[in-house]
Structure 1
Amino acid sequence: TCLKLDTSAVGGPPEPIFIKGTWFATRFDLAMTDGLQAWVCHATEEEVTERASNWDQNASDYVEFAGRYLGFQQPGSVYVVSDAENGCKRVSFTFEKEGMMKLEWRWKLQPSSNSKKTTAEMMEFLMDANIRLSEEIMWKTKAIDELKLEMEKCVEQSERLCREKIAFETEIYGKFVHVLNSKKAKLRDLRDELVKGDEKSTA
């Protein structure tokens, strides 16, 4: 993951800070840059397990939790990047546990031995992610266009069938009316003949 972190609201620098996280089952790596300097952290399984035990978590839950908050800036959480000793930086964010307790997650990052390389790797990661996202959007847009085309075909077919149904019903109704009128005419003729026959017999 790579988070573009804005800490200006809590007194942080006006420029955004990028934090890249690489998440494993029970450990993680962090890299952070402000565009000029970079800091890194390689949290071992032992360190993660120790931190997790303080919150009654196992290591995998702790990593999943950290990845969620450092993958996307969570609303309602306060993120802070502060100075630590020897040029280190401390990343922290607040969160609520069980909807009541306000807790703080924090971890210290060491200065990168090669800030340019660390920053370049993060920018490359972002560019690759942007390319993948662009490709995904392109394929989804294509799929949506194809779906719209199929929908238009279905609507056109439905309208055509509706017109054909109306035309068929109109034709059948016309024939039925014609037959009905013909039957009525024959019945009238028969009735007239019967009336004439009765008149002759009475005469």
Structure 2
Amino acid sequence: MVESEKTKHTCLRLEISGADPIFVKGTWHNSHFDISVTDGSSSWICNATEEEVAERAAQWDQPVSEYLELAERYLGFQQSNSVYGFSDALEGSKRLSWTFEKEGTKLEWRWKCKPSHDSKKITVGILDFLMEANIRLSEEVVNKTRSFEKMKSEAERCLAQGEKLCDEKTEFENATYAKFLSVLNSKKAKLRALRDKEDSVRAVAEEESTDKAESFDSGRSDNEQSEEEASKKASSSKARGRKRAVRS
């Protein structure tokens, strides 16, 4: 199975200690890469072939894909923990180098860049790439700004809707509570009326019961008084009868 060719492009403004910054443009393939370097007036190129990349990867006991990924990482974005160099070599060439750590050991990779036969073309190509990237970035910023404004507007609308719903909820709760309170007070009034009615009926019943008891006691006293008077009369009559008998 043949792996499809994937090409990526990077462009780095590389800050080098003690020297003017340079621009490094990289074109990354599955098994090799190309580098163009310019300082604004001169330019250099490095076309790393598949054989050269495979040889370098083997020297570092790495797969080709891992070697290319690491090289792209350091030449696509300047790493703060790496020391970069762009020193002179023979016949006007330059040696591009960078350091990195692996398993606690600081290592250095170097690639030789040859002078370009058409510095103007290389420099213009890098500038065009930067301008296109800047345009794409500007468009992306504009699109993201529009998306942000749209999201902000939507958020404000949702917030206003939420506040409206909250107000309606509060109003509904207040109305419901007022209605419930009215019903509750009405029920309480009815219960008080029923309780007062029951108390009134109970008082009348107790009063009638008391009157009957008093009437019964009064009737019994009259009977007892009549019986007592009758008993006294009978005793008096018997006494008079005995007196008459004695006289005879």
Normalised TM-score (structure 1): 0.94
User: Structure 2: any 5+ residue segments left out of the alignment?
Assistant: 1-9, 208-248
- Contact 1:28–1:42 under 8 Å retained in 2: yes
Equivalence for 1:196: 200
Deviation for aligned residue 1:114: 0.4
Equivalence for 1:61: 66
Equivalent residue letter for 1:5: L
Give 1:117-156 correspondences, 5 Å limit: 117-156=121-160
Deviation for aligned residue 1:43: 0.7
Equivalence for 2:167: 163
1:30 aligns with 2:35: yes
Instruction: Name the CA distance, whole Å, in 2 between partners of 1:61 and 1:115.
Output: 31
1:84 aligns with 2:89: yes
Secondary structure of the corresponding residue to residue 49 of structure 1: helix
Greater RCO, 1 or 2 (C-alpha within 8 Å, sep 6+): 1
Instruction: Name the CA distance, whole Å, in 1 between partners of 2:128 and 2:159.
Output: 46
Equivalent residue letter for 2:149: D
Instruction: Name the CA distance, whole Å, in 2 between partners of 1:48 and 1:171.
Output: 79
Normalised TM-score (structure 2): 0.78
Q: Indicate the larger mover: 121-130 or 53-62.
A: 53-62
Deviation digits for residues 160-193 of structure 1, max 9, x if unmatched? Answer: 1111111111111101111111111111111111
Instruction: Name the CA distance, whole Å, in 2 between partners of 1:59 and 1:172.
Output: 74
Equivalent residue letter for 2:13: K
Equivalence for 2:212: none
For these two proteins, the number of residue pairs brought into alignment is 198
Identity %: 56
- Larger radius of gyration, structure 1 or 2? 2
Secondary structure of the corresponding residue to residue 113 of structure 1: coil
Equivalence for 2:22: 17
Give 1:96-107 correspondences, 5 Å limit: 96-98=101-103, 100-107=104-111
Deviation for aligned residue 1:123: 0.2
Q: CA RMSD in A?
A: 1.0
Residue 78 of structure 2: which of 66, 73, 91 is its match?
73
Equivalence for 2:187: 183
Deviation for aligned residue 1:202: 2.5
